[in-house]
Amino acid sequence: MIEIDFYTVFWREMVVFRRTFVKFFASRLVSPLLYLVAFGWGLGRGIQMNGGNYLEFVVPGIIALSAMNTSFNAVGVSLNMSRLYHKTLEEYLIAPISAGAFVLGKVLAGTVRGLVASLIILVLAFVFGAHLAINGWFFLVVILTCFLFAALGVVAAMTINSHEDMANFATFVILPMSFLCGTFFSPDRLPGAIAYIIEVLPLTHASHALRALARGDGLLPVSLAVLAGYAAVLFVAGVMVVKRVR
Amino acid sequence: MIELRQLTKHYGNIIAVAGLDLHIEKGEIFALLGPNGAGKTTTIRMLTMLTKPTGGTALINGYDVMRDLDRVKKEIGVVPQHMNLDQELTARENLELHGRLHRIPASRRQERIEELLDYVELRERAGDLVNKFSGGMKRRLMIARALMHNPKVLFLDEPTVGLDPQTRRKIWDLIRRMNSEGMTVLLTTHYIEEAEVLCHRVGIMDKGRLIALGTPRELKQKVGEVVVESFGGKDTGYKLFPSRDRALAYAGQLDGNVLIREANLEDVFVELTGRKVGD
Ligand SMILES: Nc1ncnc2c1ncn2[C@@H]1O[C@H](COP(=O)(O)OP(=O)(O)O)[C@@H](O)[C@H]1O
Ligand SMILES: [Mg+2]
């Protein structure tokens, strides 16, 4: 019955998503627009990156970081609030549904939001005149990125015991990744040890894979495998922390 | 039917519930009465599987709350102490979510939603977001939500706290009506009159223990059915007597103002603990 149960959780998220779509859309427009103006037009005009213009270099990075931020926040913040403050999580805990179904529903809903945010940026990028090669692999990488950070959102929301610490987690983990993981520049310019750490982080693989695909260089199988690995591990971790919440 | 055997909950050094033994019959309205911190909510949370007991067992209609989780979940409806409706959904969507979570088929679900909206008199507001509701409306919606899947046992944790007297009466009527349709009800309260007018039996809790158990009548008989209040000096004096004659005889010896009245559960509580509810 997991197939129906996860859909119930997902259904609730989509009811709310539809209702708040305009607000979501507007808010998801602002930061990528600023990034594109600042790094694409302002700073980036005339800069050449690996033979292409900077706008085309930076758009896959912005998509990766927006996918991460949107999915993580959509699940993490609301689930943390629901557990600690609104107590709406209890409604799911006293219902006869499994932890797996609950996490899957939440993570898929976070993935949808991340995907929509990424699409918004893609459209903006075309408006700004970027030439990107988009194919099915590109969307698969975006979806995996959204999925794994939504799952990270579940893990964080279920283990962090205050709203402030949730914000701290975003500041100390998510924010550094936004800037360092190959989003705005290649991490191989960083000093050795740091570059090594960066290379292990999932967002780095998301940016690299998306950039290679957008440039027409094809799929990076190692990055895809790393993203899939993170997604699987974080999903299982999410199910485990929901199971032991009582 | 609810059966507790030595149900215990420790939070670190705090003993929230200290070995509760209790048997509640099918079709009973039972109240756990006690001051704040007595362990009422913790007891309910253990029975509704939101907290794991430290020790002991609890059975609901024969199913163990530690082991037969899914069976227990079908048997029980829960109205928690705090407002935990989904504020981002409308009243109808809250019911719909609950119905879906309990896998009620779509057509039956719609029927049940309409039925319950009438039952708790929220039909006109069914399409409004819950965050626009008053306290009483929210509480009624929480009751409707708990009833969606036709549970046989209903838990209500302080169902009328913070409500005006009129709304409180409405909730009492609702509880009586559900009970007359066969539902077993376990509620907690620190309002004496609520336990008195609503419940078949009352358990008085204090510091995690059950210190008295019986019908309101029995409990009053146990400590004395007639109270003499005397207002001499600085403190009001209370004394309980088994009969009116004895009370009158005692009152005759007192100077100052004297009030003779029937005992209530508050007197029982004070007599048993030496404190007032709420202290
Ligand atoms: N999650 C918790 N962590 C630590 N102590 C708790 C927790 N929940 C309740 N307690 C303690 O357990 C005792 C009983 O609380 P509770 O069951 O809420 O009482 P009541 O509902 O009768 O007011 C109190 O001393 C309270 O502080
Ligand atoms: Mg309480």
B86–A12 CB contact, under 8 Å? yes
Ligand 1 contact via B38 beta carbon (within 6 Å): yes
| DSSP per-residue string spanning B182-222 | T-EEEEEES-HHHHHHH-SEEEEEETTEEEEEE-HHHHHHH
Please list the ranges in chain B whose pLDDT falls under 50: none
A4–B80 CB contact, under 8 Å? no
A94–B84 CB contact, under 8 Å? no
Q: Domain boundaries in chain B?
A: 2-215, 219-273
Mean pLDDT (whole number) for A31-41: 84
Q: At what angle do helices A99-127 and A2-19 cross, to 10 degrees?
A: 40
Identify the pLDDT of residue B225: 83
Model pLDDT for residues A86-130, shown as the tens digit of each residue? 999 999 999 999 999 999 999 999 999 999 999 999 999 998 888
Identify the pLDDT of residue B211: 93
Q: What is the pTM of this model?
A: 0.91
- Return the CATH class of domain B2-215: alpha beta
Counting from 1 in the atom list of ligand 1, the atom nearest the Cα of B32 is 22
Identify the pLDDT of residue A62: 94
Counting from 1 in the atom list of ligand 1, the atom nearest the Cα of B45 is 17
Model pLDDT for residues A158-203, shown as the tens digit of each residue? 999 999 999 999 999 999 999 999 998 888 888 888 888 999 999 9
Identify the pLDDT of residue B227: 86
Residues of B in contact with A94 (CB under 8 A): 48-50, 73, 76, 78
- Closest-CA residue, ligand 1 atom 26, reads B37
Closest-approach residue (CA) in chain B for A78: B88
Average pLDDT, chain A: 93
Highest mean pLDDT among A26-30, A228-232, B207-211: A228-232
Q: Domain boundaries in chain A?
A: 2-243
Closest-approach residue (CA) in chain B for A84: B84
pLDDT value at A32 more than 90:
no
Ligand 1 contact via B14 beta carbon (within 6 Å): yes
- Taking the centre of ligand 2 as the mean of its atom positions, its distance from the CA of residue B69, in whole angstroms, is 23
Looking at the DSSP assignment, which residues form a beta bridge with residue B230? B237, B258
A97–B49 CB contact, under 8 Å? no
- What number of C-beta contacts closer than 8 Å exist between A and B? 64
Q: In this predicted model, which residue has the larger pLDDT, A209 or A37?
A: A209
Identify the pLDDT of residue B245: 86
Identify the pLDDT of residue B255: 78
- Closest-CA residue, ligand 1 atom 6, reads B11
Identify the pLDDT of residue B220: 85
Model pLDDT for residues B93-114, shown as the tens digit of each residue? 999 999 999 999 999 999 999 9
Alpha helices in B89-164 (DSSP H): 91-101, 106-119, 135-147
A4–B103 CB contact, under 8 Å? yes
- Taking the centre of ligand 2 as the mean of its atom positions, its distance from the CA of residue B215, in whole angstroms, is 22
